């Protein structure tokens, strides 16, 4: 399947929407621990943490994985996708983070397959079913867009914007934040989203990493919280 320019925009609007069935709205990726411990207590403290997570956590890890998955699919290199998927899993230090990425990846794969019917993505799905790799969301998202000849930069930007938007939605429920406050945080992230997209595209495979060790620890602590509203 290929899209005209306007249809490309519609695709990204659809797959990055909170209603698209990925399950991402159920995951806080450790932020719920920070909120529970009151390290995050309002819009200002959430925005600071979210900006750090975007630049030092997700851009050079999942964001870079989206770009590399897009390139691997364009080259029809399933082995590269499998190796990349293993790398993405290795960069997620907590069990909950790996499981969240795995679950949302499988949900994304199923939804994209059934709705848009991409052709070459089936090869990667076969590798996942055969147990060669897990099928993390960032790899699936990038591979699907590469299969449908969508622009790499827009693919990475859409993934990162959806990640920020979904996390803001989680924060709005458990801090809680007002709807206007929540959307203002997303708006303020626009310049950083562009910066993070460029950073992700420029990150080589051997440079991929996550510098948010404190959030990894928060993610590990999350499963032992007394009460939890999120799965991770």
Q: What is the pLDDT of residues 210-223, one digit of tens each?
A: 998 898 898 999 98
Q: What percent of the chain has pLDDT over 70?
A: 100
> Is residue 231 over pLDDT 80?
no
pLDDT band at 3 (very low <50, low <70, confident <90, very high): confident
> Is residue 16 over pLDDT 70?
yes
Number of neighbouring beta carbons within 10 Å of residue 28: 27
**Selection from 93, 127, 119, 100 nearest residue 32 by Cα:** 100
CATH of domain 5-14+24-222: 1.10.4190.10
Q: Of 2-6, 71-75, 118-122, which gets the smallest average pLDDT?
A: 2-6
Helices (DSSP H) in the chain: which residue ranges?
5-15, 31-36, 43-52, 64-74, 78-91, 95-116, 121-129, 137-147, 152-174, 179-188, 190-202, 213-222
pLDDT confidence of residue 1: 67
**Cβ proximity of 163 and 16 under 8 Å:** no
pLDDT confidence of residue 5: 83
| 3-state DSSP assignment of residue 23 | coil
Q: How far apart are CA 124 and CA 186, in angstroms?
A: 32
Two structure tokens written together for 111: 């939804």
**Cβ proximity of 220 and 230 under 8 Å:** no
> Is residue 87 over pLDDT 80?
yes
């Amino acid at each position: 399947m290929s899209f005209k320019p306007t249809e490309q925009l519609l695709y990204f609007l659809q797959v990055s929407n909170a209603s698209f069935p990925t399950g991402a709205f159920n995951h806080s990726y450790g932020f719920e621990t920070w909120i529970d411990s009151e390290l995050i207590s309002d819009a200002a403290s959430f925005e600071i943490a979210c900006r750090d997570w975007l630049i030092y956590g997700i851009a050079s890890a999942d964001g870079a994985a989206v770009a590399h998955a897009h390139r691997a699919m364009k080259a029809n290199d399933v082995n590269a996708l499998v190796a990349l998927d293993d790398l993405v899993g290795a960069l997620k230090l907590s069990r909950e983070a790996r499981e969240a990425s795995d679950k949302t990846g499988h949900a994304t794969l199923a939804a994209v397959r059934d709705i848009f019917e991409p052709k070459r993505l089936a090869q990667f799905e076969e590798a996942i079913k055969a147990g060669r790799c897990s099928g993390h969301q960032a790899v699936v998202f990038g591979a699907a867009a590469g299969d449908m000849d969508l622009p790499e930069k827009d693919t990475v930007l859409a993934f990162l914007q959806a990640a920020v938007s979904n996390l803001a939605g989680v924060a709005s429920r458990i801090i809680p934040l007002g709807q206007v406050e929540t959307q203002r945080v997303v708006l303020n992230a626009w310049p950083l989203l562009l910066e993070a997209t460029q950073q992700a595209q420029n990150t080589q495979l051997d440079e991929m990493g996550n510098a948010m060790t404190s959030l990894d620890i928060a993610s590990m602590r999350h499963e032992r919280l007394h009460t939890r509203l999120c799965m991770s």
